[in-house]
Amino acid sequence: MTSAEIRAAIIDILETIAPDEDLTNLDDAKEFRDQMELDSMDFLDIVMELRKRYRVQVPEEDYENLVSMASTVSYLEPKMVDIPAE
Amino acid sequence: MPRDFLKDVKDKYDVIVIGSGLAGLTSANILGRAGYDVLLLEQHYKLGGMATWFKRPKGHIFDISLHGFPYGMLKSCRRYWNQEIADRIVPLRGILFDNPQFTLKTTYDRASFTDLLQSKFGVAEATIKEFFDTARGMNFYDDQNLTTKELFERFFPGRNDITRLLMEPITYANGSTLEDPAITYGIVFSNFMSKGVYTFQGGTDLMIGLMKDELEANGVDIRINCSAEKINTEHGKVKSVTVNDRDIQCRSVVSNANLLTTIFKMVGEEQFDKDYLEDAKAVRVNNSSTQVYMALGPEDHIDRDTGDLLFTSTAERFETNRLLSRDITSRTFSVYYPDTRPHDQRERHLIVSSTNARWEDWGNLDNEAYEASKQDLIETTLDALEKYLPNARERVVYTEAATPRTFYHYTRHHEGASFGTKFEGLPVSQALPSQITGLYHAGSVGIIMSGWLGAINYGVIVSNEVDQLLMQ
Ligand SMILES: Cc1cc2nc3c(=O)[nH]c(=O)nc-3n(C[C@H](O)[C@H](O)[C@H](O)COP(=O)(O)OP(=O)(O)OC[C@H]3O[C@@H](n4cnc5c(N)ncnc54)[C@H](O)[C@@H]3O)c2cc1C
């Protein structure tokens, strides 16, 4: 997957986790928490969805990489490069 | 021949979940939904653990632990259960406090508290905001030395009345005291405070029924009247569970039974490191409870203005210790109107009074003293109710009491603990899989993982780890 495809995949996951949030104006450089209501269970859900959909493992010590869209995508890039886009 | 509750059970499962409390049910559901072969064992004949109810002749249905939970339940039920369950979560609007320091009504959310603290308690808005933001910003890896008492002193020095307002409901909700770490307060309080107190419309029986349907749809093999006796290990890994004289193989176990029972009775000390055992032995269980269940006659009704949840006390000052005393001065009354079970044509009005309690005050009484103490509990509760329900004694047509012994009997929790363990239980629970590969504990621990929402969310956190292990 390219970084653009990974970004789209994350948006798709966020839409199921937080259906009430408007993600069209999401600023990739800013922390998710500052732009939408996400708690620790929401971050866990992102991790679980990534494993379910793409079999990507995110160990607990790496959760801090999921703070913003930009950091999430760059963390996932090497892990998802060999995964074909849907 | 006694009935075989394990009839047609398989020889091997991916996961065996021991116990069907909300944490166990949720783990079983998530792992079943993810496609694993899951066996759920429950020693009682009902699912739900402390999320339970009982029926009495003439149509009375009493809920044990449906007094209120935070808004977060809605999201957790939608995601980890289904929309039908989430749709039944509704707010409770009439939360009342009545004690010698103040009497007030609130919707129990941040806006209402900010308003009350300013208008009735004379606190500056900036202080209130700072307090809420501090509580909200607390994480469980933050400083554990600051106590809840110190937190209140910092923001509201010398204000026992404010401590009461902010703390009393939390003490009832999870047994925590002013001496517990402030972070436990901050995490639980900010959860509760965001959007008020909620309940499940339809009653606990309906919720557990809907959960059972969902589990079955996800292929979970559910077995009641099946008490897991032993968790067997081999080379530091779980191997099987002994239940009703049978050994069932498995790749992992999620124990929703009491943490200490799991370690010391089901696995056995010899399987753990010395340091781990020491930490485990130091874990304190939380307090227990008493309840008095009261029903009104079929023709009678309670005025809606009475409120839904009443935090009452006759004690001049607030001290968490006194909430545990057998000499009861503080009670929470939950009032159940017919819309608790809108589908029920009988339109009953019920009241459940709850107090926190100590095992020592009930556990060792002989039968006669125990019965007398129970009767005394009922009588004094009816006296206290009079103020909120005029002529209570004549109008209440059915009463029954539950004590720490009752809670022990139904859940097997050490000393009838209502809310799991104190804070130190959480790291011991989380470290279990590092001691025995494939063995997890999910259930009320550490104060923050307690209550309906805490138990459900801990079930999710643990399932995530189990999934990670099984996928390898
Ligand atoms: C009086 C009272 C009032 C409460 N009120 C509220 C409230 O208003 N709001 C709220 O959010 N929370 C409330 N709570 C707390 C809440 O009910 C609990 O925190 C929550 O239900 C606990 O869930 P759990 O998953 O930890 O397990 P539990 O409910 O403790 O369930 C454990 C299960 O494991 C089973 N089990 C144990 N050993 C074995 C074995 N060897 N084999 C098979 N099965 C076994 C037990 O039978 C039980 O079903 C209340 C609790 C009490 C006691």
Is there a contact between B290 and B384 (Cβ–Cβ < 8 Å)? no
CB contact under 8 A, A57 and B468: yes
First to last CA, chain A: 9
Task: Please name the helix (run of DSSP H) or strand (run of DSSP E) that holds residue B96, with its range, or none.
Answer: strand B95-99
List pLDDT tens digits, range B89-133: 999 999 999 999 999 999 999 999 999 999 999 999 999 999 999
Q: Report the candidate in B13, B472, B466, B12 with the shortest Cα–Cα distance to residue B256.
A: B466
Residues A58, A75: Cα–Cα separation, whole Å: 10
What pLDDT does residue B190 have? 80
What pLDDT does residue B12 have? 98
Q: Which residue numbers of A have CB closer than 8 Å to B's CBs?
A: 17, 39, 41, 44-45, 47-48, 51-52, 55, 57
Residue A37's pLDDT band (boundaries 50, 70, 90)?
Answer: confident
Q: Which residue has the tokens 């019920």?
A: B350
ipTM of the predicted structure? Answer: 0.85
Residues in chain B predicted with pLDDT less than 70, given as ranges, are: 1, 140
What pLDDT does residue B263 have? 97
CA distance A16 to chain B (A): 9
Is there a contact between B184 and B447 (Cβ–Cβ < 8 Å)? yes
Contacts of A47 in chain B (CB under 8 A): 464
Contacts of B467 in chain A (CB under 8 A): 48, 51
Q: Report the candidate in B81, B17, B21 with the shortest Cα–Cα distance to residue B445.
A: B21
Q: Taking all residues of chain A, what is their mean pLDDT, rounded to a whole number?
A: 92
What pLDDT does residue B1 have? 60
Residues B245, B248: Cα–Cα separation, whole Å: 10
Is there a contact between B432 and B441 (Cβ–Cβ < 8 Å)? yes
CB contact under 8 A, B79 and A45: yes
CA distance A75 to chain B (A): 19
Task: Please name the helix (run of DSSP H) or strand (run of DSSP E) that holds residue B399, with its range, or none.
Answer: strand B396-402
Question: What is the dihedral angle through the alpha carbons of B382, B386, B390, B392, rounded to the nearest 10 degrees?
Answer: 0
Is there a contact between B47 and B208 (Cβ–Cβ < 8 Å)? yes
Please name each of the domains of chain A with its CATH number.
3-79 (1.10.1200.10)
List pLDDT tens digits, range B413-439: 889 999 899 999 999 999 999 999 999
CB contact under 8 A, A51 and B471: yes
> Which of residues 51 through 80 in chain B touch A, CB cutoff 8 A?
72, 75-76, 79
Is there a contact between B197 and B91 (Cβ–Cβ < 8 Å)? yes
How does B21-32 read in b/e, with b if 16+ C-beta sit within 10 Å? bbbbbbbbbbbb
The verdict on the CB of residue B151 being under 6 Å from ligand 1 is: no
Q: How far is CA B206 from CA B51, B56, B65, B211, B214, in A?
A: 11, 17, 14, 9, 12
What one-character DSSP code corresponds to residue B283? P
CA of B426 to the centre of ligand 1 (A): 16
β-bridge pairing B309-313 and B237-243: unpaired
What 3-state class would DSSP assign to B16?
strand
List pLDDT tens digits, range A3-35: 999 999 999 999 998 888 899 999 999 999 889
Strand partners for B181: B147
Ligand 1 closest atom vs CA B419: 19
First to last CA, chain B: 43
β-bridge pairing B197-200 and B69-70: antiparallel
What pLDDT does residue B129 have? 95
Identity of the amino acid at B101? Q
CA distance B464 to chain A (A): 7
What pLDDT does residue A49 have? 93
How does B307-337 read in b/e, with b if 16+ C-beta sit within 10 Å? bbbbbbbebeebbbeebbbeebbbbbbbbbb
CB contact under 8 A, A39 and B460: no
Asked if B1 is an interface residue toward chain A (Cβ–Cβ < 8 A), one would say no
Structure tokens at B341: 């079970």
List pLDDT tens digits, range A46-83: 999 999 999 999 988 898 899 999 999 999 999 999 99
Give the gyration radius of chain A's Cα atoms: 12
β-bridge pairing B53-56 and B89-92: unpaired
Residues B31, B237: Cα–Cα separation, whole Å: 19
Residues B461, B31: Cα–Cα separation, whole Å: 12
Is there a contact between B253 and B68 (Cβ–Cβ < 8 Å)? no
| Sign of the torsion formed by the C-alpha atoms of B385, B388, B392 and B395 | negative
